[in-house]
Structures are given as structure tokens and as C-alpha cells.
């Protein structure tokens, strides 16, 4: 594989602009693609405000912001963006057909040694690569939102992905300060989203069964075992308390835990009624726009504090 100097990011939305930012800050030349100039200038503006907020919190320097932004070239032309890149990350909408089409085009545009990565949240990498000829260089790089503050990137091996492509991607991500992990099987949801949504399914089920209200469910996590999670994952915790105790607990409790393969009827009803959460003022709970904004700010402030450390 050739030395990686130029990165192309396809899709400049919530994730794409943040991924472009990560590489530009570390000195890479980045080509950022979206459907029109308005979306692209908004993306650059978003990068500027992210970096400004970070600098104000002591992460990076104000003087480095404009040089980093200058390393991001924007274009609406996929071929132009991908032409000189050695590594391409796709971050367009979560739509299998759209992603397959983009990978088919990238496959035709990019020489065979160029690595093509998708930031899909849950879709199979192998399916996304289906219309491309060279599957060996296609893999998943699942960044988490906001990608410039959350260290984890799941590097997912598709059915045909080469070890070389996985290793090169892993090193590239480590080099820009991320915490990559290897996901060896291309299963829907990979690792992070499987774990996350197993928890969400149970959280919704607890509310649906009238066991506790939504705020209480969240408090049980935020003030309880959630405090342990940044330090100990569940498997290290299982070893700490003992696999024998874990077995005894599972032996008793698993039959009572939600196992439905369908989304919860309560969740479906909320969506049908238009109770979409922060954006409509009501989801599982009621949200004024000030409360919603406070919640977003609380998250960002916390992530900035953790990143600074």
C-alpha cells in the first residue's frame, strides 16, 4: 500500500465534517465531497466552531485552526476528490443502495491499492462492497459521534477484506490519535451498536412494562453502573466479581430480560404520534428547547473535559 498523505471524505454531514477535521488537524490533505457548495461551506464552518470550542477548552491552539481548515479542499465531484487520495472514507446517509453506488464508483476511480472505508453504523460491509470489483481494500471504519471527541473507531473486516488493508487502517487511525479496535466478523451492528442497542431495548422495555419511568431508568445508569463503564467494561467486571457469580445471576435473570426481535410497540407508537424527542419537544420525556440545548451542552462539555485529560 502506498504512503497515505491525501484523504477523501465522501459526505460532509454530522460525521463527515468531523472525520475530515480529525485528519486535517493532523496535517493530512483532505478532499471533502457533498452534493452542493452550501453543505460544504456549512461543513467548514462546523469544523471552525468545533476547533474554536476545543481551543477555548485548552485542546489545540486558536492559531492552528485556519491552517487546518485550509488543508480541507471541498468539491461536489467524487472523481476529483478521490483521484489523488490513498484513503477514502464514505460518510453519506445510512442507505445501502446509495453506499453501494458510491463504492462501485470509487472502485472504478481509485487504483487498487487505495483503501476504501465506510462509516456505516450498522450495515454489512460485505453488502456495501457488493457492486465493487476489488473487495480486498474495502472495510468499515465506524467512528462515533462526535468523531473528533470520541476515540473509538471500530475497524470492520468484510468477507473479502485483506489483512493488509485492516492493518494499514489501524495504524493510520492510531496515528491521528484514535483508539481503533478490530472487529473480525462482519455482522450487522458490529460490536458497539450491538451492545448499545441491547441496553436501549431493555431500557425501553422497562418503561413499557411500568417498572420505572424514563428519567429513573437513565438515573440508574448515570448514577450507578454507568460510573464504572469508562474504567471497566462488562467482561472485566464479570471477571472481577467472578464468572461463577455471573453465571448464577444469568441463570436466574436472563429469562426475565427483553428478547424481542422487533422494535418495541411503545417506541413505534411514539414515532407514529410524532413524539420524536428533542426535535419535537417530546419523546420518552418532555423537552423545552432550553432543556434540550442544556443536555447537548452537558454532553459536549463532558466529552471535552475527558478529551483534555
Ligand X SMILES: NC(=O)c1ccc[n+]([C@@H]2O[C@H](COP(=O)([O-])OP(=O)(O)OC[C@H]3O[C@@H](n4cnc5c(N)ncnc54)[C@H](O)[C@@H]3O)[C@@H](O)[C@H]2O)c1
- 13 vs 214 by CB, closer to ligand X: 13
121 is catalytic: yes
Cβ 79 to ligand X shortest distance, Å: 12
Q: Which of 4, 7, 9, 10 is in the footprint of ligand X by CB under 6 A?
A: 10
- Of 193, 197, 208, 258, which one is the catalytic site residue? 193
Q: In this structure, are residues 128 and 14 in contact, taking their beta carbons and an 8 Å threshold? A: no
Q: What share of the chain is helix, strand, coil (3-state, %, to 5)?
A: 50, 15, 35
Q: Which of 30, 92, 129, 138 is in the footprint of ligand X by CB under 6 A?
A: 92
What the block records as the C-alpha cell of 251 is: 441463570
Q: Which of 2, 5, 14, 288 is in the footprint of ligand X by CB under 6 A?
A: 14
**Binding span for ligand X by CB under 6 A among 117-125, 199-207, 280-288, 297-305:** 117-125
Rounded to whole angstroms, the Cα distance separating 72 from 42 reads 13
Helices (H) and strands (E) in the chain, counts: 13, 8
- Provide φ and ψ at 227, rounded to 5°: -65, -25
Q: Is 91 in the site for ligand X (CB under 6 A)?
A: yes
- 79 vs 184 by CB, closer to ligand X: 79
**Binding span for ligand X by CB under 6 A among 56-64, 139-147, 196-204, 243-251:** 139-147
Sheet holding 179-183, edge to edge: 72-75, 29-33, 6-10, 87-90, 115-118, 138-143, 152-157, 179-183
DSSP secondary structure code for residue 286 in this structure = B
**Binding span for ligand X by CB under 6 A among 6-14, 51-59, 172-180, 212-220:** 6-14
Q: Which of 4, 7, 8, 15 is in the footprint of ligand X by CB under 6 A?
A: 15
- 92 vs 204 by CB, closer to ligand X: 92
- 220 vs 278 by CB, closer to ligand X: 278
Radius of gyration of the chain (CA): 21
What is the total residue count of the chain? 309
Cβ 237 to ligand X shortest distance, Å: 26
17 is catalytic: no
Rounded to whole angstroms, the Cα distance separating 142 from 126 reads 14
Q: In this structure, are residues 33 and 75 in contact, taking their beta carbons and an 8 Å threshold? A: yes
Of residues 199, 165, 167, 161, the one with CA closest to residue 180? 167
Reduced to 3 states (helix: H, G, I; strand: E, B; else coil), residue 236 is helix
Q: In this structure, are residues 156 and 2 in contact, taking their beta carbons and an 8 Å threshold? A: no
Rounded to whole angstroms, the Cα distance separating 297 from 301 reads 6
- Of 80, 113, 127, 154, which one is the catalytic site residue? 154
**Binding span for ligand X by CB under 6 A among 48-56, 57-65, 89-97, 130-138:** 89-97
**Binding span for ligand X by CB under 6 A among 46-54, 115-123, 233-241, 254-262:** 115-123
Cβ 242 to ligand X shortest distance, Å: 35
Partner residues linked to 138 by β-bridges: 116
Site string for ligand X, 31-70 (x = CB under 6 A): --xxx---x-------------------------------
Rounded to whole angstroms, the Cα distance separating 151 from 180 reads 8
- 154 vs 208 by CB, closer to ligand X: 154
Cβ 63 to ligand X shortest distance, Å: 28
Q: Which residues bind ligand X (CB under 6 A)?
A: 10-16, 33-35, 39, 91-94, 98, 119-121, 143-145
Q: What are the catalytic residues?
A: 121, 142, 154, 193
Amino acid at each position: 500500500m502506498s504512503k497515505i498523505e491525501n484523504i477523501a471524505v465522501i459526505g460532509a454531514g454530522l460525521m463527515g465534517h468531523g472525520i475530515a477535521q480529525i485528519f486535517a488537524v493532523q496535517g493530512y490533505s483532505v478532499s471533502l465531497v457533498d452534493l452542493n457548495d452550501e453543505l460544504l461551506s456549512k461543513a467548514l464552518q462546523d469544523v471552525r466552531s468545533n476547533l474554536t470550542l476545543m481551543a477555548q477548552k485548552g485542546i489545540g491552539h486558536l492559531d492552528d485552526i485556519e491552517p487546518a481548515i485550509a488543508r480541507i479542499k471541498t468539491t461536489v465531484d467524487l472523481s476529483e476528490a478521490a483521484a489523488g487520495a490513498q484513503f477514502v472514507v464514505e460518510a453519506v446517509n445510512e442507505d445501502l443502495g446509495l453506499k453501494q453506488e458510491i463504492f462501485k464508483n470509487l472502485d472504478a476511480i481509485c487504483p487498487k491499492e487505495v483503501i476504501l472505508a465506510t462509516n456505516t453504523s450498522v450495515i454489512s460491509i460485505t453488502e456495501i462492497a457488493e457492486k465493487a470489483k476489488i473487495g480486498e481494500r474495502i472495510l468499515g471504519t465506524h467512528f462515533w459521534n462526535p468523531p473528533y471527541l470520541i476515540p473509538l473507531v471500530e475497524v470492520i473486516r468484510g468477507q473479502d477484506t485483506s489483512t493488509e488493508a485492516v492493518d494499514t487502517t489501524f495504524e493510520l487511525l492510531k496515528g491521528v490519535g484514535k483508539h481503533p479496535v478490530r472487529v473480525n466478523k462482519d455482522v450487522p451492528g458490529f460490536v458497539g451498536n450491538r451492545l448499545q442497542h441491547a441496553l436501549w431495548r431493555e431500557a425501553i422495555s422497562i418503561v413499557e412494562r411500568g417498572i420505572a419511568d424514563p428519567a429513573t431508568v437513565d438515573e440508574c445508569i448515570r448514577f450507578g453502573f454507568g460510573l464504572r463503564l469508562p474504567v471497566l467494561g462488562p467482561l472485566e467486571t464479570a471477571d472481577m466479581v467472578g464468572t461463577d457469580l455471573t453465571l448464577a445471576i444469568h441463570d436466574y435473570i436472563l429469562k426475565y430480560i427483553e428478547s424481542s426481535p422487533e422494535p418495541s410497540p411503545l417506541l413505534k407508537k411514539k414515532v407514529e404520534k410524532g413524539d420524536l424527542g428533542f426535535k419535537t419537544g417530546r419523546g420518552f420525556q418532555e423537552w423545552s428547547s432550553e432543556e434540550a440545548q442544556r443536555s447537548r451542552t452537558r454532553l459536549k462539555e463532558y466529552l471535552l473535559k475527558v478529551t483534555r485529560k
